[in-house]
């Protein structure tokens, strides 16, 4: 049995199928981990969602910012962006089933020393703490008032964690860290607007995974979200967003031996990039 962790697919369904062929993926024996952002910007978000949903327990996926965006647009709590490619999903006859399935996905997936999250973890969060906080968000998203939760989700404030936070502010910080963050400060202040390479970190901020003595440092974090970072593989980190939707590659790492698999994604390149 092998487990393949796969970077941001973002609707590049053809690339995903070619990647699985290159991995010699066996559905009867192997497992897939998806780091989030299954949908949007690429040409076939609907086929991607249906495929992963139909994998059942063979596939584990965490929620990314584009997945949250789909849910918010479908719930009438956010407007579509010009670059969105979500219409096929929003007009699909099985939309409600797909949304229900997506709302059941976790923010964090932990197995042994492996931790999968879309964006990152704040430095003061141990993995156990992060699991508890993720469950708070998951309970809201899976509950009857999930549309109200999504209506209050967006915003950059508060920009740092405190145990004293409550309500929408508390949930927003958790989601911003786990699904949107790239840079943060040593004391855990989140900087969301900067999207460039690590050298472009604002003064006083670090790539979240380089903050000294982060509490999750004894685990290997598997993540995506940061296409300008590119593929970054080290003992404590597998950053797998290699820019498929921008004409880069879709990447997978077999967790058992850390072997890398990649396919080019030029057919998914967004016009103008």
CATH number for the domain that contains residue 54: 3.60.21.10
Residue 24 lies in a domain: yes
Domain assignment of residue 196, yes or no: yes
64 within a domain of the structure (yes/no)? yes
The predicted model gives 126-150 an average pLDDT of 97
User: Which pLDDT does position 272 carry in this prediction?
Assistant: 46
Give pLDDT tens digits for 87-115: 999 999 999 999 999 999 999 999 999 99
Residue 145 resides in a domain: yes
For residue range 46-77, list pLDDT tens digits in order: 999 999 999 999 999 999 999 999 999 999 99
Once rounded to an integer, what is the mean pLDDT over residues 5-11? Answer: 98
Q: How confident is the model at residue 210 (pLDDT cuts 50, 70, 90)?
A: very high
Q: Between 238 and 269, where is the model more confident? A: 238
Quote the CA–CA distance of 137 and 215 in Å, as a whole number.
Answer: 21
Determine, yes or no, domain membership for 221: yes
In a domain, 111, yes or no: yes
Q: Does a structural domain hold residue 142?
A: yes
pLDDT of residue 130: 98
| 158-205 residue pLDDT tens | 999 999 999 999 999 999 999 999 999 999 999 888 887 888 888 999
Residue 273 is assigned to a structural domain of this protein:
no
Residues 219-230 have a mean pLDDT of 95
Beta strands 3-6 and 31-34: pairing type? Answer: parallel
Residue 265: is its pLDDT beyond 80? yes
Residues composing the chain: 273
**pLDDT at residue 145, as a whole number:** 95
Q: What is the pLDDT of residue 270?
A: 66
Kindly report the pTM of this predicted structure: 0.96
Please count the structural domains in the chain: 1
Contact criterion met (CB below 8 Å) for 211 and 222? no
Average model confidence (pLDDT) for the chain? Answer: 95
Say whether pLDDT at 273 is over 50.
no
Q: 223 burial class (0-12, 13-18, 19+ CB within 10 angstroms)?
A: buried
- Which residues span the domain enclosing 129? 3-268
The confidence score (pLDDT) of residue 77 equals 95
User: Would you say 156 and 188 are in contact if contact means Cβ atoms under 8 Å apart?
Assistant: no
Strand segments, DSSP code E, in 48-164 are: 59-61, 108-111, 114-117
Q: How far apart, in whole angstroms, are the C-alpha atoms of residue 255 and residue 24?
A: 15
**Torsion 23-16-103-28 (CA) sign:** negative
């Amino acid at each position: 049995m092998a487990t393949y962790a796969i970077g941001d697919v973002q609707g590049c369904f053809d690339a995903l199928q070619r990647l699985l062929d290159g991995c010699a993926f066996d559905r009867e024996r192997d497992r897939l981990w998806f780091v989030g952002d299954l949908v949007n910007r690429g040409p076939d978000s609907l086929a991607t969602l249906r495929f992963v949903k139909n994998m059942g327990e063979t596939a584990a996926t965490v929620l990314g910012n584009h997945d949250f965006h789909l849910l918010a647009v479908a719930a009438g709590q956010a407007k579509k962006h010009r670059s969105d490619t979500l219409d096929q999903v929003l007009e699909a006859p099985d939309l409600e089933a797909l949304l229900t399935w997506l709302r059941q996905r976790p923010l964090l997936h932990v197995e042994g020393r492996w931790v999968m999250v879309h964006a990152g973890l704040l430095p003061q969060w141990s993995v156990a703490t992060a699991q508890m906080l993720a469950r708070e968000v998951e309970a809201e998203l899976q509950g009857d008032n999930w549309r109200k939760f999504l209506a209050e989700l967006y915003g950059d404030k508060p920009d740092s964690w405190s145990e004293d936070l409550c309500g929408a502010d508390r949930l927003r910080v958790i989601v911003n860290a786990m699904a949107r963050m790239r840079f943060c400060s040593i004391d855990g202040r989140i900087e969301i607007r900067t999207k460039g390479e690590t050298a472009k970190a604002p003064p006083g901020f670090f790539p979240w995974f380089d903050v000294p003595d982060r509490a999750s440092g004894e685990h290997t974090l598997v993540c995506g979200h940061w296409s300008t970072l590119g593929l970054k593989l080290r003992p404590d980190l597998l950053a797998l967003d290699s820019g498929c939707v921008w004409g880069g590659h879709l990447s997978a790492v077999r967790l058992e031996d850390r072997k890398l698999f990649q396919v080019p994604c030029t057919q998914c390149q967004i016009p103008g990039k």
